[in-house]
Chain A
Amino acid sequence: MNRYADWLRVALIDLRGSTKRFVILIACLALGIAAIGVISSVSSAINGAIVRDARVILGGDLELRASNKDIGAAEKEALAALGPVSREVELNARATKGDLSAFLSLRAVSGRFPLVGSVTLEPNGAVGDMSQLLESRNGVFGALLAPQAAQRLAVSRGDIVRIGSLDFELRGIIDTVPDQAAQGFQLGIPAFISDAALDASGLSQEGALNRFHYKVDLGDTSFAAAKATLDEQFPDHEWRLRAPRDASANIARFLDIFGNFLLLVALSSLVVGGLGISNAVTAYVGERQMSIATMRALGASNHRLLFHFVAQILVLSMVGLVIGLLIVAGASLILLPWLSGALGLALPAGIDIGSMLGAAAIGLTTALLFAWLPLGSVQSIRPALLFRSASAGNSSHMAWRDVLRWRTGLPLLAGLVLLLGLTVAITGDLVLVLIYFVATALALGLLRLAATLLTALLRRMPVSSNRAWRFAIAAIQRPGAPTATVLVSLGMGLSLLLFIILTQGNLTNQIAAEVTNDAPAFVLLDVDKATQSELEAMWADNGDITALDLVPMLRGTIVQLNGKPAPDPSGLPRDVADMFRGDTALTWAADMPADTVISSGDWWPTDYSGDTLVSLSTEMQNDLGLTLGDTMEMNILGRPITLTIASFRAIDWRAPTFNFRIILSPGIIDKAPQSYMGTIKVAEDAGPTVEQQLVEAFPLLTFIPVGDAIARAQSILQSLIQAVALVSGLALVAGVLVLAGALSVGRSQREADAVVMKVLGATRRDVISAFLLEYLLLGALATVLATIIAGLGAWAVSQFLLEIDFAINIALIFAVAVGVIALTVGTGALTTWAAMSARPASRLRAESQ
């Protein structure tokens, strides 16, 4: 041990005065570790909260969900037998105060709500008894509104607001709701009334889009046992049961996808930073050749030399590691409380040691992995170098066969496997990590191959008559030129920058309002037959309303397919699985809806009145293996109906119209109780006027201003965009550092050559012109390749990971790439100009000593 301690001491002494050259190495490592650590730490906190608070998120141990129709008395008794039950009815409604209105996601709750946790109000804190707070006092029921609704209506505690056809007293402004995270995206602003008030308000109507939730505290009974009991008692039920893990599954799944994407961005910044580390170590070893040769001449073994330089790199890496971890700690303490409010989860500010250790391990492994080959070249430096002049050039290049030797290759392989393992441990997704590693290796390989091909091509080109061009080409294809290193560094750094810009652009486009000029102003829900007639009359008389489009909407349960029981949804693709969990939406139509694309089969005649036919979406055709002529049995409002498949339709879900996977032919279904949903288009700038008219004429009508709904979705996704921007920012800095570091490769030799050229009579312009041409050529090639790499990467992430649309703005990409290359090359040119402006005498003297 003493021996190694001595060696370490000598290594640290040798590092004196050299630390400034490692600024890029330390910065690259710190940024990469910080990015990974922050994402990992935050994801860990969120997942921990989801697991810890799953019961609170669900609001009980078991949740029964029924749509459109409440469960019967027998079912309610059965639930009560399992344990304390809370009931809530979820629906959309509109609140008004004078001329102001707000669209609400309303929950009418029973006295026991919430079973787990407490609702808290501003500024008073937890609500003890919801039923007491919301009860009727002097004939007026109470309501709780979220702050946005109170602001929209300009009301405060104690004021009266109208919801539906009933006045409510605002009894509090909502701060937190324990199960809010499980609600998912809501079209309206959260609000609470009592279930007694709902019955009195007239908002609850048969056929309306009400959702009934029953939450049960099972005590010691397991969810499985409770489910089995209910399934046995009610084998033909149409409800859906959820356990705590199911409620949090959606959140966890969504956050997993996003978290993994951000981790990949962070890992990319570390990989690109690794190139910066490799370049810095290569330059360092190159400049220390004489020292290494001297140590060898004095008797130092390979083992000693390797230890010497590995120790130095380790010490420097530790500096980067500490800086990175400090950033992780600080960022976690700031981010977690902010995210807590945004996600509706309890995320106390804290530092996750596991995540920090994981980030540190990944960072250190990456640093050593990228430093290993340049450090290994130390072994090829011979003492004979001491007896040769500087003109003989460096001898520190490692041949390919040396890489394959076990001493070099085995640690490299071990490092790769370790990095792979650590990344899988953090993401939990082996396939994703493998794909990422293969893609990165391919990108590196592509750039390396391009460098080889470029060099070969330039060697075969006829010699140019232009001197600067000749010098530039000679510098690129000369033996020992750092062309490959520069091209790989430029290419990967630029790829990372372009990838981030492309992906962020696609995310932003996704949430930007894609409302076309043709989009409706309002979406109508739960329209009954009477209101339908009145709306049509209003349309006829109101010049501001340019179009009214209503479609009938019912709900039914798919019971059988081709005579066999409906499949288990857990084995179905996500697209159609939800259709088999409880009931699903359907409609009927005599005429084929506009813009319908029939992919196979035929639409029925307008006057068709035979056995009920059905037209299904192509997702159902593909995922369920259905063909024309197959049968489907559905239970609609308690009545079984057998349907024959007449056609399949390809549906564009992004079109601004209502679409249904299931459309029935008329004849039987059109006579069933049903509600309507539809859209209203208005003349330009007539939106607020029409909204006011609708509120006055139809106080019970549920309608959503389209712009409002999109704004709510945007605000949620905007938080995610900001998270992406934060991590992307770190990655961007790493990318820029590597670009700057690419210029440092071979700089020492380049400056020495420039001095000789100056002695021979070359002006600064001669040297700079050649330099600019050399780097512009490399930069142009790097730009083309980086655009391809970044484009493919962004496409893959958009399509398969984030499942968003992919678009590429070539002009923007080109502008960014050209700007970055110009900045990098320009900085290098300025540096070279400065070096060329100095007197060569001092350099010549130094080399003569």
Chain B
Amino acid sequence: MNLHLTSGKAQLHILKDITFDIKPGEVVAVVGPSGSGKTSLLMVMAGLERATGGKVGIAGTVLDQLNEDQLAIVRRKNIGILFQNFHLIPSMTALENVALALEIAADDTPIADIKAQAAAALKSVGLGARLDHLPSALSGGEQQRVGLARAIVGQPKLLLADEPTGNLDQETAATAIDLLFSHARADKTAMLLITHDMALARRADRVMRMDHGTLQEITMVPS
């Protein structure tokens, strides 16, 4: 795939001739310096940005020709996204934020079941006692765990995590990553993990390096 973005009057070639795939259950880490195009790669894969050239397929569905609503449907069925800045809805409680993902995805699931699943997801990330708290009452780490619960509650086929520990301290980051990997492994979810933490990258099955818009697989030296 290729991606060009316009910044002011200049057109920037962000992603250059990138070709790769992720198998079900596989964890791929993408590392690289800031501005190399890692987040743009994630956005294209999530259907949040449209590639200017090439093909993107998720779980057998090619995204290129789909309109916005069709992309949304693909996302709700197949993809979970974990953001660096959490992007929780500030006026919703932790439970409501997680339940929102299920409510969007499922038309006819009774609300009681939705809430039960959301509560279970929050319990699984250690927030069973904070269901009714607004994001303003949660720490950064707790907000990230709510984000994680929201990303995995629908059992997506692909999990996209953009610098999930970028705003966390070391200890909290470690907890969050353990949870992320354990859920991904347990549900056999493919995961693309954007990070510049090399220690974190080593835990992946494959490591790719993004540099000036190009992607190459690299071999990590054991620590």
A contact set with B: CB distance below 8 Å: 388-395, 463, 465, 467, 470-471, 474, 478-481, 749, 753, 756-766, 836-837, 839-841, 844-845, 847-848
- Which of A757, A764, A837 has the most chain B CB within a 10 Å cutoff? A757
Given known pairs A465-B111, A760-B76, A761-B73, the reply for A848 and B68 (CB within 8 Å) is no
Of B57-65, B81-89, B121-129, B173-181, the segment with at least 4 beta carbons within 8 Å of chain A is B81-89
Q: Is B209 in the interface zone, CB < 8 Å from A? A: no
Chain B residues positioned under 8 Å from A478 (CB to CB)? 91-92
Q: Mark B38-56, 1 if CB is under 8 A from A, else 0.
A: 0100010010111000000
Residues of A within 8 Å of B211, CB to CB, are none
Name which residue of chain A comes closest to B90, CB basis. Answer: A393
Q: Are B91 and A393 in contact (CB under 8 A)?
A: yes
Using known A-B contacts A389-B86, A390-B85, A766-B104, determine if residue A841 contacts B48 with beta carbons closer than 8 Å. Answer: yes
Given contacts A392-B136, A474-B96, A759-B81, contact A463 B90 (CB under 8 A): no
Query: Can you spell out 13 A-B residue pairs with CB atoms less than 8 angstroms apart?
Result: A389-B167, A393-B91, A471-B103, A479-B134, A480-B91, A749-B90, A759-B87, A761-B73, A762-B72, A764-B68, A765-B69, A836-B68, A845-B39
Q: Which residues of B contact A845 (CB under 8 A)?
A: 39
Neighbouring A residues of B104 by C-beta, 8 Å: 757, 760-762, 766
CB A348 to nearest CB in B, in angstroms, measures 59
Nearest-neighbour CB distance to chain A for B220, whole angstroms, equals 27
A836 to B71, alpha carbons, bound, how many Å?
A: 13
9 more A-B contacts (CB under 8 A) besides A760-B105, A761-B105?
A391-B88, A392-B135, A393-B90, A393-B135, A470-B111, A479-B134, A753-B89, A764-B69, A839-B49
CA distance A474 to B111 in the complex (A): 13
B104 to chain A, nearest CB (A): 5
B43 near A391 with CB under 8 A, answer no
| Complex interface: chain B residues within 8 A of A480 (CB) | 90-91
Is A839 a contact of B50 with CB atoms below 8 Å?
Answer: yes
Say whether A470 contacts B75, CB under 8 Å.
no
CA distance A188 to B111 in the complex (A): 77
Cα(A237)–Cα(B78), bound, Å: 103
Chain A residues whose C-beta falls within 8 Å of the C-beta of B48 in the assembled complex: 759, 839-841, 844
Given contacts A389-B140, A763-B73, A847-B85, contact A841 B167 (CB under 8 A): no
B212 interface residue, CB < 8 Å from A? no
Tell me which of A479, A760, A765, A848 contacts B75 (CB under 8 A): A760
Q: Is B110 an interface residue (CB 8 A)?
A: yes
Task: Tell me how far the C-beta of B160 lies from the nearest C-beta in chain A, rounded to whole angstroms.
Answer: 10
Q: Is the CB of A762 within 8 A of B76?
A: yes
Q: Are B87 and A763 neighbours in the complex by a CB distance under 8 Å?
A: no
A465 touches B81 (CB 8 A): no
**CA A758 to CA B68, docked complex, whole Å:** 9
| Closest chain B residue, CB of each to CB of A763 | B69
The smallest C-beta distance from B4 to any residue of chain A, in angstroms, reads 13
Q: B107 an interface residue at 8 Å Cβ cutoff? A: yes
By a CB distance below 8 angstroms, the chain B residues around A390 are 85, 87, 90
Give the contacting residue for B68; candidates A471, A753, A757, A837; CB below 8 A.
A837
Residues of B with C-beta under 8 A to A758:
68, 72
Contacts of A394 in B (CB 8 A): 90
Q: Which 8 A-B pairs have the closest CB atoms?
A: A761-B76, A393-B90, A391-B88, A763-B69, A841-B49, A761-B75, A392-B136, A391-B135
Cβ of B16 under 8 Å from chain A: no
* Least CB distance, A757 to chain B, in whole angstroms: 6
Kindly count the residue-residue contacts between A and B in the assembled complex, taking CB atoms under 8 Å apart: 110
Give A753 to B101 CA distance when docked, in angstroms: 13
Nearest chain A residue, comparing its CB with the CB of B166: A848
Residues of A close to B68: CB separation below 8 A = 758, 763-764, 836-837, 839
Complexed CA–CA distance, A756 and B92 (Å): 12
Which among A474, A761, A848 has the highest number of chain B CB atoms within 10 Å? A761
Beyond A465-B110, A760-B76, A836-B68, whether A389 also contacts B85 by CB under 8 A is yes
A437-B68 Cα distance, complex, nearest whole Å: 51
Q: How far is the CB of A748 from chain B (nearest CB, A)?
A: 12
Closest to A395 in B: B136
Of B50, B84, B89, B110, which one neighbours A756 at CB under 8 angstroms? B89
Bound Cα distance A391, B138 (Å): 10
Q: Which of B90-106 contact A (CB under 8 A)?
A: 90-92, 96, 100-101, 103-105
Q: Which range holds the interface residue count of chain B?
A: 35 or more
Q: How far is the CB of B153 from chain A (nearest CB, A)?
A: 10
Which residues of A have CB within 8 Å of B75?
759-761
Interface residues of B in 200-222 (CB under 8 A from A): none
Does B143 have its Cβ within 8 Å of any Cβ on chain A?
A: yes
B76 nearest CB neighbor, chain A only: A761
Distance, CA A840 to CA B50, complexed state (A): 11
From residue B167, how far is it (CB to closest CB) to chain A in Å? 7
Once the chains are docked, how many angstroms separate the CA of A467 from the CA of B43?
27
Bound-complex Cα distance A758 to B48 (A): 9
Does the CB pair A388–B136 fall under 8 Å? yes
| C-alpha gap A841/B44 in the complex (Å) | 9
Question: CA of A395 to CA of B91 in the docked complex: distance in angstroms?
Answer: 12
Rounded to whole angstroms, the CA-CA distance of A474 and B110 in the bound complex is 16
Residue of A394, A764, A841 most packed against chain B (CB within 10 A):
A841
CB distance from A751 to the nearest CB of B (A): 12
Contacts of A844 in B (CB 8 A): 43, 48, 83, 87
A389 vs B84: C-alpha distance when bound (angstroms)? 10
Query: Separation in Å of the A466 CB from the closest CB of chain B?
Result: 10
CA distance A760 to B88 in the complex (A): 11
Q: Which listed residue, A465, A471, A479, touches B91 by the CB 8 Å rule? A: A479
A390-B85, A479-B91 as given contacts; A760 in contact with B101, CB under 8 Å: yes
Our pick among A757, A760, A765, A848 for the contact of B85 (Cβ within 8 Å) is A848
- Chain A residues, CB < 8 A from B69: 763-765
**B163 closest partner in A (C-beta):** A848
Contact status of A389 and B134, CB under 8 A, knowing A478-B92, A836-B68, A847-B87: no
Give chain B residues whose Cβ lies under 8 Å from the Cβ of A388.
Answer: 136
User: In the assembly, what is the distance between CA of A474 and CA of B69, in Å?
Assistant: 23
Known A-B contacts A761-B105, A762-B104; the reply to A463 vs B73 at CB < 8 A is no
Contacts of A756 in B (CB 8 A): 87-89
**Shortest Cβ distance from A466 into B: residue:** B107
B156: nearest chain-A partner, CB-CB: A761
CA A481 to CA B91, docked complex, whole Å: 8
In chain B between 117 and 162, which residues have their CB closer than 8 angstroms to a CB of chain A? 134-136, 140, 143, 150
Name the residue among A388, A759, A764, A837 with the largest chain B CB count within 10 angstroms: A759
Does B183 reach chain A (CB closer than 8 Å)? no
B77 within 8 A of A: yes
Kindly state the separation between the CA atoms of A335 and B134 in the bound complex, as whole angstroms.
Answer: 59
**Alpha-carbon separation in the docked complex, A481 to B50 (Å):** 33
Q: Please give, as numbers and ranges, the residues of chain B lying within 8 Å of A479 by CB-CB distance.
A: 91, 134
Q: How far is the CA of A760 from the CA of B102 in the complex (A)?
A: 9
**Distance between B187 CB and nearest chain A CB, rounded to angstroms:** 18
**Most A Cβ at <10 Å: residue of B43, B48, B81, B134:** B48
CB neighbours (8 Å) of B135 from chain A are 389, 391-393
Query: What A residues does B76 contact at CB under 8 A?
Result: 760-762
Note all chain A residues with C-beta closer than 8 A to B96.
Answer: 474
Residues of B within 8 A of A470 (CB): 103, 111
